Amino acid sequence: MENRKIIYLGFNNMFKHKRGIENVVEFQSYASPSNFNYYIHWDDKTACYHYGNFICVAIKKDFFWILTLNIILFKIKRKEKKSFIHSHNALMSIFSYYQSDLFTLHDALYYLTKATKHKLNKLFFLLEKILYTRTRYVHFISNYAKKESLYSSHKNYIVIPNTSHLEKFKSKNFCTKSKMINFKPDTVKIFVVRSIEERARIDLLIDTASILNNSNFEFFIAGKGPLLERYREIVKNKNLQNIKLLGYVSDKDLIDYYEDCDIVLVPAEYGEGFGLPIIEGYLFDKPVIASNKCAIPEIIYSAEFLFENTVDSLIEKLNYAKEEIDSKYRDFYNKKYSNFIITKQFNEFYKTI
């Protein structure tokens, strides 16, 4: 494996991404025995650049991207005789001439489109089936993700959870407090990190904040998405002073919010193959309450922190969590989800394939 370069197939430019698959790819590369690897992704134009230990190749996503992808793979394969393809991009795996050696599945294609009642969900069923014929091994980020997939084999797969890229920033402890952090004194500070879309159940948070408007609970929601302005308008019309939708929050400010909050809250309805904000809450030693949905029950510290997606259940768990502020959550993260643990698992797995 020492000279075996890994070719990662992803989605976004490493310099342009905010939070997502790119962070997962970066950490997986730390498990590679090679001192540099390749990263291929879509972008506005075809180009080559360096990022950390990556040689990155951007492919313009136009009518010819499939041809461009295969030309680039052919050139890399010709140069690197022992190269290994680790894909996160289903379409690239399906349309590549070369079979992927490993595919990381974050959320199953058919499961997501079925949950949203997508009109082309039968096409996604076919694409997902084809995907598994185009890869030798499949990596799932949770047992739930495996269960909801169309992958029927009882072998050639592994379950390894995610870790958080915020760990490397937190360990440096150099961040100064941002002026954005405007929690009120003497409140129970609730922090939420979600994509602002239907499956994140921001409507449930607004309904809960409305009931608790005269209490000492305060909600801050970080994230962007298609429903951001719609929910902001609802909050404004209800004249709610205890809930704020922050929009996009940088990693630096995200760390400050995690450090200063009392409870991390993760609502979900579907499409949650893991639950990254859960383990990030534990990284910052915070109690986390979350919906009793999807992969969340297998990630959460204890079932006592799960709520049903109703206002009454959520309020009950908020009151429970505010009494459970302890120093045990970081230990839980270190034992199960730390950068060291996950990198070690991937390093051992790479060597077995």
327 lies in some domain: yes
The verdict on 38 and 128 lying in the same domain is yes
For residues 325 and 94, what is the distance between their CA atoms, to the nearest angstrom? 47
Which pLDDT belongs to residue 54? Answer: 94
127 lies in some domain: yes
The verdict on 156 and 284 lying in the same domain is no
> Following DSSP, what letter does each residue of 238-298 receive, concatenated?
HT-SSEEEEES--HHHHHHHHHH-SEEEE--SS--SS-HHHHHHHHTT--EEEES-TTHHH
137 lies in some domain: yes
The verdict on 301 and 198 lying in the same domain is yes
The verdict on 144 and 201 lying in the same domain is no
| Spatial contact of 104 and 88, defined as CB atoms under 8 Å apart | yes
The verdict on 80 and 219 lying in the same domain is no
- Residue 256: give the domain boundaries: 167-336
The verdict on 227 and 324 lying in the same domain is yes
Q: CATH code at 225?
A: 3.40.50.2000
Tokens of residue 238, six digits: 């209800």
The verdict on 224 and 111 lying in the same domain is no
Mean pLDDT, each 10-residue run in order, the chain (353 residues): 84 82 91 91 95 94 96 95 93 96 91 83 92 95 94 91 87 52 79 94 97 92 95 95 93 92 96 93 96 96 96 96 87 96 94 84
For residues 332 and 59, what is the distance between their CA atoms, to the nearest angstrom? 40
Q: What is the number of structural domains in the chain?
A: 2
Q: What is the pLDDT of residues 326-338, one digit of tens each?
A: 779 999 999 999 9
The verdict on 175 and 322 lying in the same domain is yes
The verdict on 217 and 111 lying in the same domain is no
Q: What are phi and psi of 289, to 5 degrees?
A: -110, 145
1 lies in some domain: no
The verdict on 155 and 226 lying in the same domain is no
Tally: H helices and E strands in the chain? 15, 14
The verdict on 187 and 60 lying in the same domain is no
Which pLDDT belongs to residue 172? Answer: 55
For residues 233 and 140, what is the distance between their CA atoms, to the nearest angstrom? 38
CA-wise closest residue to 171 among 1, 339, 351, 2: 339
For residues 284 and 272, what is the distance between their CA atoms, to the nearest angstrom? 21
121 lies in some domain: yes
Q: What is the pLDDT of residues 262-278, one digit of tens each?
A: 999 999 999 899 999 99
177 lies in some domain: yes
| Spatial contact of 196 and 232, defined as CB atoms under 8 Å apart | no
The verdict on 212 and 229 lying in the same domain is yes
Q: What is the pLDDT of residues 221-252, one digit of tens each?
A: 999 999 999 999 999 999 999 999 999 998 88
